Structure 1
C-alpha cells in the first residue's frame, strides 16, 4: 500500500489557485487511472486503486493547507505505513520556476506550511515529496496573495503537460522507486512550460 497525498485548500474558491496544484495533479492522476474520490476518511477525500502494480490511496486533505498533517498522520497510522518508504506528498513550491518538478526523499518544509504541519504530526522529516514549481510572485506581490491567486492564461495552457509530467513521475516512484524517478525527472523543464513573465492572473 502506498499513500500519495496532494496538498491544497478545499472549496470552489481555491480550485484554480497555484496553492492547489497538489490537488490538481492528484485529480489528473486519478482520472488517468479511472479512480474517483468517492471516499472520506480521517479528514481527507480518498481514491483507491492500483497504479503500476501498486495498491494506492490518493488523498486530498480537507483540513485546509496549514493543518494537512492532521489528515496525513492519521492516514499513515491507519494504514500502518512507513512514511519514509510508502508516502509521497505533492505540493507547490515558490522557489522553483513554473513547470519545474523536483523529487526528494526528505528534508525541511522550506516554508511550506502544509509540509511543516505534516512534519510536526508525523514527527519526522523523512518522507518523499514531489515539489511543483509555481515561480516567484511578480514585484509588489505578497507571497500569500500570489499562491492564493489563479493561474495566468499562459500557465493554464501549459498545465496539462505539467500535470502529465507529475503523473509520470508518481507512476515511476510507484513502479520503479524514488531513486529512478529522481534520476529521470529532476531536470529542467522544456522552455514551452515557462509562461511569459508578468502576465496578469486570470
Structure 2
C-alpha cells in the first residue's frame, strides 16, 4: 500500500496557485480513477482510496503544518516510509520538469520541512514539480500567485503526466518510474500526446 500525499493549502483562494501543484496532481489522479475525496476531521485531511494499492491525501493544515496529517496516516495505516510519496512544487526546477527521487532534503520548501521534521526522517520518496523562480516577486507572493496564462497549457500537461506517473509507481515501481519521467523534456512527444484532464 502506497500513501500519496499532495501538498497545498486548503480553500478556494489557493486552489490554483503554484503552491498547490501537489493538490492538483492528486486531484487529477482521483478524477481519472473516479475517486472522491472525503474529509477526515481526526486526520486533518481529505483522503480517498484507490483499490488496495494507494491512499491519496491532501493535508488541510495549511502548508507549514503538512507533516501533522502525513504522520497520522503513516501511523494509522502502518505505511513504511519507502511507500510514502510526497508531491509538491519546487522552485529549483523549471516549469515543465518533473523529478522523482527515493529520498532527499527539503530544498527549503516549508511543507517538506514540516513533513521531514514531523516524521523525523527524510528517507521517503518525493515528486518534485518545477515552478521556476520568481523574478520581481518575493518567494511568498510567487508561490501563492496563480500560474500565468502563458504557463497554463504546460501546467495542464504536467498535471496529466504526473498523475500518470503515480499509476506507474503503483504498477511498475518507483525506480522504473524515475527512469521514465526524470529525463522528460518539454518538447518530448509525451507532451504533445497527453490529453488534458479537466
> TM-score higher than 0.5 here?
yes
Mapping 1:5-16, distance limit 5 Å: 5-16=5-16
- Secondary structure of 1:24's partner? helix
Q: Distance in 2 between matches of 1:100 and 1:33?
A: 24
The 5 A counterparts of 1:180-195 are 180-191=176-187
Q: Which runs of 5+ in 2 are unaligned?
A: 192-198
Q: Is 1:34 the equivalent of 2:34?
A: yes
CA RMSD for the aligned pairs? 1.3
Residues 104 and 129 in structure 1, CA contact (< 8 A), matched pair in contact too: yes
What CA deviation, in whole Å up to 9, does each residue of 1:131-154 have, x standing for no partner? Answer: 00001112x211111000001012
Contact 2:90/2:129 (8 A) holds in 1: yes
Specify which of 65, 69, 78 is matched with residue 67 of structure 1. 65
Distance 2:50 2:106 in 1: 29
Contact 1:39–1:47 under 8 Å retained in 2: no
Which consecutive segments of 4 or more residues in structure 1 shift more than 4 A?
Answer: none
Give TM-score scaled by structure 2 length.
Answer: 0.91
Answer whether contact 1:36 1:47 (CA < 8 A) is retained: yes
Q: TM-score of the superposition, structure 1-length normalised? A: 0.89
Partner of 2:78: 80
The equivalent of 1:109 in structure 2 is 106
2: CA distance between counterparts of 1:120 and 1:24?
Answer: 24
Q: For residues 166 and 188 of structure 1, what CA distance do their matches in structure 2 show?
A: 11
Query: What's the counterpart of residue 49 of structure 2?
Result: 48
Aligned-residue offset at 1:71:
0.4
Deviation at residue 187 of structure 1 after TM alignment: 1.2
Quote how far apart the aligned CAs of 1:158 are: 2.2
1:172 aligns with 2:130: no
Q: Distance in 1 between matches of 2:100 and 2:43?
A: 26
Q: Where in structure 1 are there 5+ consecutive unaligned residues?
A: 194-202
Deviation per CA, 1:49-78: give whole Å up to 9, x if none.
Answer: 22xxx5211100000000000000111000
Structure 1 CA distance for aligned equivalents of residues 186 and 12 of structure 2: 31
Report how many aligned residue pairs link the two structures.
188
CA deviations on 1:109-164 (whole Å, 9 max, x unpaired) are 010111111111111110000000001112x2111110000010121122221111
